[in-house]
Amino acid sequence: MLDILYEDKDILVVVKPAGVESQTSRRLEPDMVSEIKNYLHRKVQETKKLSTGLSPKASTAPVDPYVGIIHRLDKPVRGVMVYAKNLKAAAHLSRQVQEGKLEKIYQALVCGKPVDNVGKYVDYLLKDGKTNTSRIVDKSVAGAKRAELEYQILEKKEQEDGTVRSLVEIHLHTGRHHQIRVQFAAHGTPLMGDTKYGAPAAASVGRARREPLALCAVRLSFLHPVTGKRMEFSTKPQFVL
């Protein structure tokens, strides 16, 4: 059931659904790595069957396909992801992440309107592993990591209850834990459906209506690990203003 945007012998670009872990999950829930491995295994078996005209022998032990995790999306976030199909591709793509050559663009619905139509947030985040949350702290705090993003407002709309929602596009420069959710909440415009960092009103609306987190990784751009060609893939968010 994978939504595959592109595939070759080195990489696989897919759209991760909301509610699915982007890496292997210890719980009995679907995750992208397992889904991709199952897909690749089925593909190998089908290829063998076509080449021989016979079903693969049941005694043949399946080879576990390699799936390299290059970047991650939070479980409730939908969006474009790239996975490596071999070690060389994984190393090359991981280097792009470190050098800022893998570009990620998100869209989100936020409560209210950011002060500026086009702006930048630079904060320092500290992750709490016990609660699986992050918060903004002073840069002098031990363990604090710099978090930077740029945004622009694409559209804003007043709702029937008098509140305002804004559709924003976000260029993420760093990939910190829950970064977009934490920064927008701290700057007074929490994401719709965010029951962890949202304002009480937004969180209660999200619970009552069971609204998903209004955040989507809409575009991903990187250099192909073998050809060096710049590649860009996109998807549309499923939320509406």
How far apart, in whole angstroms, are the C-alpha atoms of residue 207 and residue 34? 29
CA 60 to chain centre: 36
DSSP per-residue string spanning 152-216:
EEEEEEE-TTS-EEEEEEEEESS--TTHHHHHHHHTT-PBTT-TTTS-HHHHHHHHHHTPPP-EE
Answer yes or no: are the C-beta atoms of 233 and 7 closer than 8 Å.
no
E strands, the chain, in order: 4-7, 11-16, 68-69, 78-84, 103-111, 118-128, 133-137, 145-158, 164-172, 215-223, 230-234
How far apart, in whole angstroms, are the C-alpha atoms of residue 141 and residue 170? 26
Active site residue 74: yes
Instruction: Give the strand pairing for 103-111 and 78-84.
Output: unpaired
How far apart, in whole angstroms, are the C-alpha atoms of residue 101 and residue 224? 11
**Set 74, 128, 138, 194: catalytic member:** 74
How far apart, in whole angstroms, are the C-alpha atoms of residue 224 and residue 222? 6
Q: Which amino acids are annotated catalytic?
A: 74
